[in-house]
Structures are given as C-alpha cells and as structure tokens.
Amino acid sequence: MALNYDKLMATSIVDLPHSYRDTETMLYALSVGLGRDPVDPRELPFISEHDGLPMTMPSLATVLVPDMFPPDLGWDYSQVLHAEQRLQLFRPLPPAADLKINKRIVGAYDRGAHGAMVLFEAEGRLAKDDTVLFTLGNTIIARGDGGFGGPSGKGPAPHRVPRREPDLSCELDTRSDQALWYRLNGDRNPLHSDPELARSVGYERPILHGLCTYGVACHAILKTICNYDHTLIAGMDARFSSPVLPGDKIRTDMWQDGDTVSFQCTVAERDTVVLRNGKCTLAT
C-alpha cells in the first residue's frame, strides 16, 4: 500500500492519555548513561529518589509520546529513517505526570528516488490543567516510498554550527548493552537487539537508537555547560547522520554563543560524525 497524501495530512490524534512515573524517569537517565559512577553527587539526583523526587533529563520528553511514528501509514516501515529531532521545553518536566498528547503530520514531501519526507509534530500537556510542557518535531525519511504523488518541498532549515574550533568538548562512553537498556523506554525495534537482523541489513551488530545518541548529547551539554542544572535547557534540535554502535565513545563538541549552544557528536575512533547541526537553547 502506497502513501496517500490526503490521508497523511489528515492524520492526527487529540488528547491521547499517557502517564509516566519516577521509575520511567530514572530508567531513562540510566539508559542514556547517567549513573556510571553510582556515588557521583551530580548525577545521583537523576537516578535516585533518596533526596526527594528525581530530577528529569530534558530529553526525556522524546520518549513521552506513544507511537510517534505509526507503522500503519502505508509506508514500508522497514525502510523508515529518523532524520531529525526537535524539542522545545516550556518548563522543566516533572518527575511523574499524567499527560494529554496531541500529535499530527504537518508535512509530507515526495522526493522521488530519494523517498518520502514526513514531518511530525506532538505536544505534551499536563492532564490536570492543560499546562503545555513540551513540543516535539520529527523529520522522517521513508526511503522506499518516493513517487507517491505528494508535493515537493523541504523540511526546516538546519542549524549551522560555527566554523571556529569548539569552545568545549565532552567525551562519554556508551555501554556494550546500552541499546538493550534504552529499548525499555518504548522503542522495541529489533534492529537494536537482534544480532541476526542487524547483520542482514549490513551492520556488524545491533546499533544504538538515534534518540539514545541524542540523549547522550543532552547529557554532555547538561554536564559541561549547565553543571547538571536541568532547568537551563529549553530546547534541543539535531540531525542524525550515522549510526552508533553500543560501546562507542561519543565526543560532543560545543560552541556557546549567548543562550545558544551549537553542538556536534563524533565517534572519534571511526572519525564519523553521528549527530550534526545541533542547537541547544538555554533558558534565559
């Protein structure tokens, strides 16, 4: 079944209920690498409730929208790539909440031999009073679904990182089992857990989720720029450019200009940029 432009543009869900608790909040922090040193007083508040409710990673919002990319849109789901992630936070996420989620498709572009580009948006609000917590934007490339007859077009213009040398860098290890941890946040795609499947599509072993790499970048900025003050991050955009293998060391280079932190992530061992066009907005 081919993509249908009119059906895509009519795809939306309003007031989808979703809840998370402090267990999910702490699991997410662990899954993107916090807590490797279990006595680090800067990271313990994100992975422990001993001094009150745990603090929240800003990038937690990316796992709070169920089925962000529905598999039944008529596309070849096995050929779908998550190309870009955008996040805007209007206030720090609470450690537990009952939410109402709105989500919709805001653009679908026919790129012919290069596939289809589909843009999703979602909004998360507190169920008790409709306070808006966050919005998400995602760009998806459906590689096998070009030629469906939709309009041509482009997604949002990418952020350009400065050409000068980075102001700061942070290297963070990933664990060899990190994809197995991260999938417990809700993304059970077997590409991240099934060695045979990973080899069948050209990878030596299961790869790390792109949004886990995104979370590692958030961790690096939180650690290096924000001194672990999670209330300072108000937005974070990036493009996924190459997969990470669990166990890779990720170096996040950062350029700070006022309340904008540009960033780029590289696996130095392979000299491969894995996250590019990064833009983190700091709260003023």
pLDDT of residue 84: 97
Residue ranges of domains in the chain, CATH in brackets = 5-142 (3.10.129.10), 168-282 (3.10.129.10)
pLDDT of residue 80: 85
Q: Coil, strand or helix: which one is 101?
A: strand
> How many CB atoms are closer than 10 A to CB 77?
15
pLDDT of residue 189: 87
28, amino acid identity: Y
pTM: 0.96
Catalytic pick among 192, 209, 219, 230: 192
pLDDT of residue 1: 54
pLDDT of residue 252: 98
Q: Extract long-range pairs of 264-270: CB within 8 Å, 24+ residues apart.
A: 264/161, 265/213, 265/216, 265/217, 265/220, 267/242, 268/171
Is 229 an annotated catalytic residue?
no
pLDDT in tens, the chain (284 residues): 589 999 999 999 999 999 999 999 999 999 999 999 999 999 999 999 877 889 999 999 999 999 888 888 888 877 888 999 999 999 999 999 999 999 999 999 999 999 999 999 999 999 999 999 999 999 999 988 999 999 998 889 999 999 999 999 999 999 999 999 999 999 988 889 999 989 998 899 999 999 999 999 999 999 999 999 999 999 999 999 999 999 999 999 999 999 999 999 999 999 999 999 999 999 98
Is 209 an annotated catalytic residue?
no
pLDDT of residue 79: 81
pLDDT of residue 67: 87
Tokens of 33: 């690498």
Catalytic pick among 110, 145, 187, 237: 187
